[in-house]
Structure 1
Amino acid sequence: MRRALALLWLLCLCLATPVTAQTIMERLVTPGPLANSHAKLESNCEACHSSFRKEAQNGKCLSCHKGVASDVASGTKFHGRFGPARSSSCKSCHSDHKGRNNGLIALNPSTFNHALTDFTLTGAHQRVKCAGCHRGNDFRGRPKDCGSCHAATDPHKGQLGRACQTCHTTAAWKPVQGFNHASTGFPLTGAHAGKACMSCHAGQRWKNLPATCNSCHAKDDAHGGSRGTNCASCHTTASWRAATFDHATTGFPLIGGHAAATCAGCHGAGNANRNPSRGCYACHASNDSHKGANGTDCASCHTPRGWRQISFDHDRMTSFSLKGAHRTASCQACHKQPPKVAKPPATCFGCHAADDIHKGSNGQDCARCHQVTAWKAVDFNHNTMTAFPLAGKHAEAKCEACHARPAREVKLSGQCSACHAKQDPHAGKLGGDCGRCHTAAAWTGSVKFDHDLTRFPLLGKHAALACTACHADKSYAAKGNTCAACHADKHHAGTLGTPAQCQNCHSTSDWTAWRFDHDRQTGFALTGKHKGLVCSACHARPGNPAQQGTQCIDCHRRHDPHRGGFGEDCERCHTTSGFSEIIVGARRIKS
């Protein structure tokens, strides 16, 4: 009784004090001294609090901390990206009234996710202590460019700007990675690519360097300048010894045996013959075994690879191109007499009548079925010579597998079922046009039916299932397009409605990866003790969840210590945080 009277007296004092001034109650219930940064507000509760209006406190905080307010509003930086910072009260992280030395920033370096800021930590940054970049409580507005932090350690003294990341990575300053030297107009190739930067940029000289070979390598010129300064005309960046003078630039490329000849072999000692003749006979008359009988154009038959490499081009120099087995035949095999005396026939049958096992019954156009590679290489083109192109397994089948009788006597149907009716697992229920789903590659493993064109597109784990996983009888009749049509409600047993509306929580990706937003998808937001409960804690009996009562007494009648003495409107005094927390006026009191 005395406690009730005391509370009533305090309530009267509060009501008697103007709401704009600090009430006696506020002075009496102050939890403790403010932190140093808020010490000047010690006597001005209204600066952070509005009497009997807890919901206004965040606005008070953000009105002072405008930078944080801007981050929350724009969804940037830590307070804008960290969900609880946007939805919870400021004091849940920045609690005050704990003494002057209390730090308002409760930050745990070991668990803080720096990726929620505008600067993700990578490489060596991940090993740096917070104080290495953040002095004191300076956690907002730190610069993000490399130069702002590393200017003092920049060996280039700012000559190459502040964008260190164009050459360096956060892994380490060395080795330099990512810089494309080709962007300077001087790509690094050969031995240049492996050189250290300072071997060319001595003394940190980065601008106006000469780009000619001789400007750097004059001291390495074994010719003493006698061949000019254009080193690249013979040498490459691979090495000095890799001389690559391109003789083709003279109009006479060196190929075959010429490529292995020494310069003096054609140009004489000391380059005495600067411009030797380019005709074969001028150099090789002494090598002509024909003694000039075939003329002086050696190249019409011979090649630079060697005199014995004969290259008479029968394809180009006659009207009968040599292909297949013809190309390996000796000249005498066809030319029984010299070509000027008698030309051999140009038709297959003219030479191969004796080889015809058909004895002329299939005509004289041997090439219609046979190839020039060999007689047994039969190449009847079923694709172009009939109305039934052979694809997949058909192309591998032997002729007699389909043509049990001569094709002239029995013309086969082009429909799949004409040959494969006995192999039809659907027993004809899907018609005879097997090609709608199957291909000629194989009956199984290459089914091309597009289930996405039906009323039930295959998504998630459905896409990987075999057809018979759902259509066990192979009739492929409609099974229904709801989850409940295939999946019995074994887990919830009807407690979330019948038939089960699985798609409200689950997806086709994974049963266990469910997601249901009770606050948004129902009219009953989960707060306090309700938050985090398993579904079956409230939905224990079969029935439609939407028809379940939403009053406290609907679930907690047996928990009512008043036995109905104060009615059924529990929320007048109690909160979802716990039955022991009672609301008296605007205050929450633990009973």
Structure 2
Amino acid sequence: MLLLLFLAVGSALLFSRPAAAQDLSSFLANSPGPLTKGHADLDDPKKCEKCHELGGGATPRRCLDCHEDLDKLIKANKGLHGRFGDKKCTDCHTDHKGRAASITEWDDKLVGGRRTFEHDKAGFPLVGVHEKVACTKCHLKKLKSLRTSYLGLKDTCFGCHGDVHRFTSKDLRGQCEDCHGKDGGKAKKMTSKDLPFDHLERSGLALVGKHGEADCMKCHEGGDMSLRKRSCNNCHAKDTPHGRTFRKSKCADCHSPKTWKDTTFNHDEHFPLRSKHAQANCSKCHKTLAKKPPKNCASCHKRTHKDRFDDFKCATCHGLGGMRSVQRFDHAENAKWALTGKHQGQDCRKCHRGNRPWRFEKFESGATCMGCHVHENAHNKEFDDKRCQECHVEGGSRDLAFDHDKDTRFPLTGLHIPLREQGKCDKCHPDQKFRTGKLECRQCHEDSHKGELGEGCDRCHTTEVKFPDLKSQFDHNRLSAFTLTDKHTQVECAKCHPDRTYKTGKSRCVECHKDDDPHAEKLGAECEKCHIPDKGAPKFEHSMTGFLLTGVHMKTDCARCHQEKPATPPKVGWTKQVPLQKLDLHFPQMGKACAECHFDVHEGRYGEACDTCHETSSFQKAAPVHDTGAFRLLGRHDELPCGRCHTDGRLLTGLLSQCVECHLADDVHNNTLGPACGECHQQFGWTPARFNHATTGFVLRGVHRLAQCRDCHGVGTYTGLPQVCEACHQGDAFRSQDPLHGSEMQVECERCHQETGFIPARQYHPWRVLKGAHVVARCSSCHVGGAYAGTPTDCIACHEGNYIDPRNNPNHVLEGYSVECTECHTEITFKGAQPPR
């Protein structure tokens, strides 16, 4: 009725006057009530058509468009809703009753009520234990409203209970009633005879004997029917008394399913029972059934020998008749120790001590001499116990000359040999410790390299040379990656390897000489491009800088251009007058234009292209501009820089051609010879001059031709000079000492001397002709003190001392010889005198 009223009012409003449109809109905006929680997402005026049709109300079709699972059940005539036919949904389910309301009405007349609901109508009758189960025990699914859903459950046992038995055969999975019955509940106890199938065919295991009587749950614990392994241990692991003794054997080899106690075990196949073993009770050996006893005798019999012979079979000495049946013991065969020398014939107790006849001291494998002879060890246990026989033989001893080279792993070589010869063994073996185990150099010698060169000392050292003397032996070029050449060969090792650090990894110049780099890294780090150790920089080519040196530049000192404080080019040009500054080894980049270094004496009047007139072969040389004109340059003039004549910025024109114009100050003649310089001098060289001295009336001969003009014309006087020798050589005469040329010598110089050479002088002695020895006598011998006038000519005046000499034979004074020496002697020789007749 509410829905019809809604539609009627809506129609009336729809077809009323336009002014009523607002009332219709207001009506549609007002819902008859909030929807339930399950339909809360549809509680919107714009979504009414989701459930309602215009003029038709809420139809089943609109409901089933959302409830598709229910639609499928109705079409298939299944479940509760499949029984209602064409009934409308709204007959049972109404809405707009609020969020908390239930949309489902359990009409007692229609479905019998929730508690009295006849479950048969849902297609699944509840019988047996199912009748007592609460609805929510099976219906676990929840709706959007969080209320219980009663749809979607399957009508099979697996629908609720799942496959708890895990049958491997698919045809058994739905046969729940075979065990649980139609009423459900716990399965009944069953044995093999109650099974509706053949257990052997289904599982491969026949249920016989005890297995046929066992309850299924004994093997299928928890109802798990998916057992795949068929071994006995799957079920009887807890029941076996053997533990893991026979884990590799099959139980059926000994046991039968009919009874476990009766076995078919054959003892002879494993351990034949003979003599007293055949009479013993099983439990004597098998004290525990869970452990398989070993087969050796000692496992059952008391170890009377205390494990002395556990490596040998008892049957080696004993028979099966008993422990007392002892056989002969072969020591070499059974103990692997042949008794020789003094060992042979010794009583066993000497070595194998014991306090009972059957007890023998056991020697471990590898027993050595020291096991018995430790009290005789004279070597303080320094040598291996197993090596006694290298020097000793069994049954006695012998002296053996110890050979260090053969008897040790360390042959003595080099400087080690004198230690042995001098008996200084304690150098390496202090406190009589001979077995040091030291074979490496580093174990005795201090490693001054601190391990950085490794342990192979013999790569550099030998025992032939003392370690401090290695410097003369070490081949740096062969044993290192850095070849020593030139200056490096003279450097002390510590200069490059401070603190004995030898593995530096440095091979480039800059890595050691960075602080020594005079270029302050301005020229880069590739020193070897220019330098060779200890040989300067012969590989440097100035072309590397982009400025090729030619002409005079090639001869110029580097410091002329590369100075610490660049000098300002002088106005007279870049000549030797400029003080040479200290070379700037940073070599800052210089300009390439001439004006960067050379002052333009022309003050720009001839442009900047200096090479138009000048060449680098000689800056003083200019293009032959003076080859024409009134003054042609020849000789030395052609070599002079222009500025020598064209001074003070004067133009290169308008100068006079007379010598005195430039050389007036150079005229040593003080203008006494006139301005015609060319009569004597020429441009190719001012000296030697072409002056003819004979025109003066004094011909130059001998040494006079070699004398400098100023030697005679010292004050610049070239006219009116006397021509006598004394005018120039009077001082030479007075300075002469041998002979003295005093004032008494009134003789012209040319009497003795000549112009070709003043020495030797000719002898001039017109007063007395000199003969014999007098010819070679020195003037001063007769003219003492330079006295030449009044000198006597008789012999006794000079030779009186010779006359009175007592050594004369005969004695002239005693014999009364005459003082007229010439009576006996001649001037040729005083010896060989003839007595007067």
TM-score by length of structure 2 reads 0.28
TM-score (normalised: structure 1): 0.37
